[in-house]
C-alpha cells in the first residue's frame, strides 16, 4: 500500500515542531509513501528533509511569547497579503498532491493565530473525492487555553473534521489528559505513537558518561535560552573540576551571542549549536538544558545525567510538566526557572553527578515509525468494507434466550479469550488491548517465542489484563503438503518435538520473565497425544487447542477455545453469520443446562493480525454483549489453568 501524505507545520519560536514533523515525514518516505511537508516557519538548516518534497510558505515567526503578533523575516508585522499568499499556496499544494492523508501539526489544539489557513486546508481536504483522512499531530504535552469556550471549539473541530489524533508521547510518562481535558467521546480518536526520535538511530548509542567529562549546556534553537546561558556562565566557578560547553541556538542574535562568548571564563566555551549534539551528550558528565520535547528525547536516548531548567515564561506550562514527570521517574534533577541562580544550578549539577550511571528505560522512542504504522492501519481499515449488517450482529433471539435461561437457572457461564500469533507491536495490537481494557475482559496472548520482538515485550509490560502463553516455537509447518499444517504433529520424532516445546517455554521466559504462563498453545491447534502427555515433564501445566477436550492428562489442565470467527477456508474474513451464531448459541445452551456448571469455559479465539473490519466489529459487539450480561464471567488464564479449579477433572 502506497499513500500520498501531506503534513502542514508552522513553527513560530524554536524549531521543535518542524524537527518532529520532518522526522515523521522522513519515516513515511522510508516506508515507500509520497510525502509533501508544507512548512510555514523560518527555514532551519539543521533539519533534514531527505526523501521529502518540501513546500515553503512565506514564513512567519514571533518574538518571546506573543503568539498573536506574527512577524516576517525582517521583524515586521505580517499583513493580510502574506497570510492570503500562504493560504493559496497551501491549498494549491493540497489540490496538486491530492493526498490520501492530511496531517496538521498542533492544530486544532494550537496555532489559533493561523486558524484560517489550517481550516481552509482541512475543509478543502474533506471536499476532495475520495476524501483523505484528516489527522492532528501533537506532542506529549499541550497548553490548555484559559477559556472554556476555546477548549469546546477545539473539541468541536475534532468531532466534525478529524479522523484521529496522533499523540507523540508515551502515556506511561505523561498521558494526554494530564495537560488537556479531552472529552470521553473523543478519546477513541487518540493514538499514542511513543516519542519521535528526530536524530534517528545514528546518534542513539549510549555513551560511557565519564564523571569527569564536560557539562553540556543547551537552550534549544530560539533565543529563549538566554537566562540559562548566563546562569551557567556564572555557575562555572562553583564546578571548577568540569569544563562547561555552552551550545547556543541559531535563534540567538549575533550581538547577544558575542556577549556570551566574551563573558566566558577559562573553564567554559560558548559556541553555536552543533549537528553532533547527541554525541556530545553521550560523552558528557551532565547535561543542563531546558525541557523541550526534542531535547528530552536526546537525554533519554543517551541516558546522560540531566539537570532540567524548564522554560516557563508567559503561560508556558509544557516544559515544567515534562520536567516534573522525568524527575518523578528518577531521570533528571529540576531547577525551576523562577529559582534559577548560580547556587541553585550548581546544586542541581552536584545532585546529578551523584546519580547512578545511565539507565535503560521502557519509554517508547520509535514514534516516527509507529506514526506510519498507525496511519497505514487507519487507511487500511477505512478502505475495508464491513460485511456486518444490523441483522448479523450477535443479538438474535436464540442468543439472548440462551443467556436469559442461564440467568434463570442461576448458572454462571464461564468464558475466556485467547488471541494467537503475536510477535511485535502493531496498531492492531493496540486495538485489541484497548478493547480488553474498555470492557475489563482478561486476554490471553499466545506469542510465537522464536519471533518475539522487543516492541511486543515493551508494549505488553504492565498490561494487567494480558497473560502470555507459549505458542509453539516458530509457527513452522512440518506436515507434508497432503496433510493439514502442524508444527507439533506426528511428522517428527518425539524427542525433537519435546525439545522445541521446551525451547519455546525458555524463549518466552527469557523475553517476558515471570509474566509467561507455562501453558502450551500448539500452532494450528494440533499436537500429538504423545507430546501432550510429556508436557508436564517439560515444565508445562496447561494445554490449549481448539474444540472439545481430549482425554485427561495427569498434571495438565487442558482448556480449549471453541469460537473462531474467521473463515479460514475462504481465505479469511468473517464466517457466515448463521453458522457462527448457531454455534455460539448452542455453546451457551449446553452450559446453561442444569448440572453443567463445571463445564469447560467457553473460549473465544481471535487473530488480531488478520482481522478485517467486519471481524473486528463482530468480536467487539459479541464481547460487549457477553461482558454486560449478569450470567457471564470472563476468567483469566491463571484462574483457569493455575487456580484452585484448574484440575483437569473439573473441566
Q: Taking all residues of the chain, what is their mean pLDDT, rounded to a whole number? A: 88
Helix H or strand E encompassing 346: helix 342-354
Residues 108 and 256 in one domain: no
What's the CA gap between 291 and 280, in Å, rounded?
18
What's the CA gap between 592 and 599, in Å, rounded?
10
Listed residue (211, 22, 4, 220) closest to 105, CA to CA: 22
Mean pLDDT of 413-437: 90
Cell of 267: 573553564
Listed residue (43, 7, 12) closest to 26, CA to CA: 7
Residues 170 and 216 in one domain: no
- Of the pLDDT bands very low, low, confident and very high (cuts 50, 70, 90), residue 381 is confident
Residues 449 and 583 in one domain: yes
pLDDT for the residue numbered 361: 67
- Which is more confident, 590 or 23? 23
- Of the pLDDT bands very low, low, confident and very high (cuts 50, 70, 90), residue 76 is very high
Residues 179 and 206 in one domain: no
| Residue finishing a domain among 155, 173, 192 | 192
**pTM exceeds 0.85:** no
For residue 65, how many other CB atoms are within 10 A of its CB?
Answer: 13
Number of H helices, E strands in the chain: 19, 21
The DSSP code for 176 is: G
| Residue finishing a domain among 168, 192, 216 | 192
State pLDDT tens for residues 269-296: 999 988 888 889 989 999 999 998 988 8
- On whether the CB atoms of residues 406 and 588 are closer than 8 A, the answer is yes
Do the domain assignments include residue 509? no
For residue 645, pLDDT beyond 60: no
Residues 349 and 404 in one domain: no
pLDDT for the residue numbered 358: 58
One-letter-per-residue 3-state SS of 210-237: CCCCCEEEECCCCHHHHHHHHHHHHHHH
Residues 389 and 442 in one domain: yes
Q: At what angle do helices 254-263 and 226-235 cross, to 10 degrees?
A: 10
pLDDT for the residue numbered 204: 45
Residues 349 and 388 in one domain: no
What are the strands, taking DSSP E only, across 169-320? Answer: 190-192, 215-218, 244-248, 268-272, 286-289, 306-308
The answer to which of 201-210, 581-590, 641-650 has the lowest mean pLDDT is 201-210
Q: What is the CATH number of the domain that holds 442?
A: 3.20.20
Strands 413-422 and 333-334: unpaired
Do the domain assignments include residue 243? yes
Residues 173 and 224 in one domain: no
Residues 443 and 566 in one domain: yes
Q: What is the CATH number of the domain that holds 245?
A: 3.40.50.2000
Q: Which residues contact 613 (CB under 8 A, 6 or more apart)?
A: 381, 384, 385, 386
Do the domain assignments include residue 273? yes
The DSSP code for 642 is: I
| Residue finishing a domain among 130, 161, 192 | 192
Q: Which domain holds residue 275?
A: 202-354
| Cross-strand pairs, 602 | 415
Do the domain assignments include residue 473? no
Side-chain-facing half-sphere of 380: CA atoms under 13 Å: 14
Do the domain assignments include residue 491? no
- Which is more confident, 282 or 390? 282
Do the domain assignments include residue 489? no
The answer to which of 7-16, 45-54, 198-207, 637-646 has the lowest mean pLDDT is 198-207
The DSSP code for 71 is: B
Residues 350 and 390 in one domain: no
Number of structural domains in the chain: 3
CA distances from 391 to 320, 577, 583, 644 (A): 53, 9, 17, 41
What's the CA gap between 421 and 430, in Å, rounded?
15
One-letter-per-residue 3-state SS of 417-452: EEEEEECCCCHHHHHHHHHHHHHCCCEEEEECHHHC
pLDDT for the residue numbered 391: 39
Cell of 329: 521517574
Q: At what angle do helices 80-97 and 115-127 cross, to 10 degrees?
A: 20
Residues 46 and 77 in one domain: yes
State pLDDT tens for residues 567-602: 998 888 899 888 898 899 989 888 877 444 457 899
Do the domain assignments include residue 540? no
For residue 650, pLDDT beyond 70: no
pLDDT for the residue numbered 187: 86
Residues 340 and 391 in one domain: no
Do the domain assignments include residue 528? no
- Which is more confident, 649 or 38? 38
Amino acid at each position: 500500500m502506497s499513500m500520498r501524505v501531506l503534513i502542514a507545520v508552522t513553527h513560530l519560536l524554536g524549531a521543535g515542531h518542524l524537527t518532529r514533523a520532518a522526522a515523521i515525514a522522513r519515516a513515511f518516505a522510508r516506508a515507500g509513501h509520497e510525502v509533501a511537508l508544507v512548512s510555514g516557519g523560518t527555514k532551519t538548516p539543521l533539519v533534514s528533509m531527505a526523501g521529502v518534497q518540501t513546500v515553503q510558505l512565506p514564513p512567519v515567526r514571533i518574538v518571546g511569547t506573543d503568539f498573536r503578533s506574527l512577524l516576517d523575516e525582517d521583524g515586521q508585522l505580517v499583513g493580510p497579503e502574506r497570510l492570503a499568499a500562504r493560504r493559496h499556496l497551501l491549498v494549491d499544494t493540497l489540490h496538486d498532491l491530492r493526498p490520501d492523508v492530511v496531517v496538521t501539526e498542533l492544530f486544532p489544539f494550537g496555532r489559533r493565530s493561523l486558524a484560517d489557513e489550517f481550516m481552509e486546508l482541512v475543509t478543502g481536504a474533506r471536499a476532495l473525492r475520495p476524501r483523505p483522512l484528516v489527522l492532528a499531530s501533537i506532542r506529549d504535552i499541550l497548553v490548555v487555553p484559559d477559556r472554556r469556550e476555546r477548549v469546546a471549539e477545539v473539541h468541536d473541530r475534532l468531532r466534525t473534521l478529524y479522523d484521529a489524533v496522533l499523540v507523540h508521547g508515551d502515556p506511561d510518562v505523561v498521558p494526554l489528559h494530564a495537560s488537556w481535558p479531552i472529552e470521553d467521546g473523543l478519546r477513541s480518536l487518540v493514538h499514542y505513537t511513543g516519542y519521535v526520535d528526530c536524530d534517528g538511530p545514528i546518534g542513539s548509542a549510549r555513551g560511557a558518561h565519564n564523571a569527569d567529562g564536560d557539562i553540556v549546556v543547551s537552550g534549544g534553537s530560539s533565543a529563549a535560552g538566554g537566562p540559562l546561558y548566563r546562569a551557567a556562565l556564572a555557575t562555572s566557578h562553583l564546578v571548577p573540576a568540569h569544563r562547561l560547553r555552552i551550545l547556543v541556538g541559531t535563534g540567538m542574535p549575533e550581538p547577544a551571542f558575542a556577549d556570551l562568548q566574551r563573558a566566558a571564563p577559562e573553564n567554559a566555551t560558548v559556541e553555536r549549536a552543533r549537528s553532533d549534539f547527541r554525541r556530545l551528550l553521550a560523552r558528557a558528565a551532565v547535561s543542563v538544558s531546558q525541557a523541550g520535547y526534542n531535547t528530552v528525547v536526546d537525554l533519554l536516548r543517551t541516558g546522560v545525567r540531566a539537570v532540567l531548567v524548564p522554560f516557563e515564561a508567559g503561560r508556558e506550562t509544557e516544559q515544567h510538566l515534562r520536567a516534573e514527570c522525568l524527575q518523578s521517574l528518577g531521570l533528571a534533577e529540576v531547577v525551576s526557572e523562577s529559582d534559577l541562580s548560580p547556587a541553585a544550578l550548581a546544586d542541581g549539577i552536584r545532585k546529578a553527578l551523584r546519580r547512578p550511571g545511565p539507565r535503560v528505560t521502557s519509554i517508547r522512542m520509535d514514534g516516527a515509525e509507529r506514526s506510519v504504522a498507525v496511519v497505514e492501519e487507519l487507511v487500511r481499515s477505512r478502505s475495508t468494507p464491513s460485511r456486518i449488517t444490523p441483522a448479523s450482529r450477535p443479538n438474535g433471539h436464540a442468543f439472548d434466550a440462551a443467556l436469559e435461561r442461564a440467568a434463570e437457572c442461576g448458572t454462571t457461564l464461564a468464558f475466556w479469550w485467547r488471541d494467537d500469533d503475536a510477535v511485535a507491536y502493531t496498531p492492531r495490537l493496540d486495538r485489541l488491548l484497548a478493547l480488553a481494557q474498555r470492557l475489563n475482559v482478561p486476554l490471553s496472548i499466545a506469542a510465537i517465542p522464536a519471533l518475539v520482538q522487543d516492541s511486543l515485550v515493551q508494549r505488553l509490560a504492565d498490561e494487567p489484563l494480558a497473560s502470555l502463553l507459549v505458542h509453539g516455537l516458530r509457527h513452522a509447518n512440518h506436515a507434508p503438503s497432503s496433510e493439514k499444517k502442524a508444527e507439533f504433529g506426528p511428522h517428527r520424532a518425539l524427542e525433537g518435538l519435546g525439545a522445541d516445546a521446551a525451547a519455546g517455554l525458555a524463549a518466552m521466559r527469557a523475553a517476558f520473565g515471570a509474566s509467561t504462563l507455562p501453558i502450551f498453545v500448539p500452532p494450528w491447534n494440533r499436537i500429538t497425544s504423545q507430546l501432550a502427555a510429556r508436557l508436564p515433564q517439560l515444565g508445562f501445566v496447561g494445554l490449549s487447542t481448539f474444540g472439545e477436550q481430549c482425554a485427561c492428562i495427569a498434571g495438565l489442565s487442558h482448556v480449549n477455545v471453541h469460537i473462531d470467527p474467521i473463515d479460514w477456508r475462504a481465505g479469511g474474513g468473517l464466517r457466515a453469520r448463521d453458522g457462527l451464531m448457531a454455534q455460539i448459541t448452542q455453546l451457551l445452551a449446553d452450559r446453561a443446562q442444569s448440572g453443567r456448571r463445571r463445564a469447560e469455559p467457553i473460549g473465544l479465539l481471535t487473530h488480531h493480525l488478520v482481522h478485517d473490519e467486519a471481524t473486528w466489529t463482530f468480536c467487539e459487539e459479541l464481547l460487549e454483549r457477553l461482558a454486560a450480561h449478569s450470567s457471564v464471567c470472563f476468567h483469566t488464564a491463571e484462574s483457569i489453568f493455575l487456580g484452585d479449579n484448574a484440575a483437569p477433572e473439573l473441566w
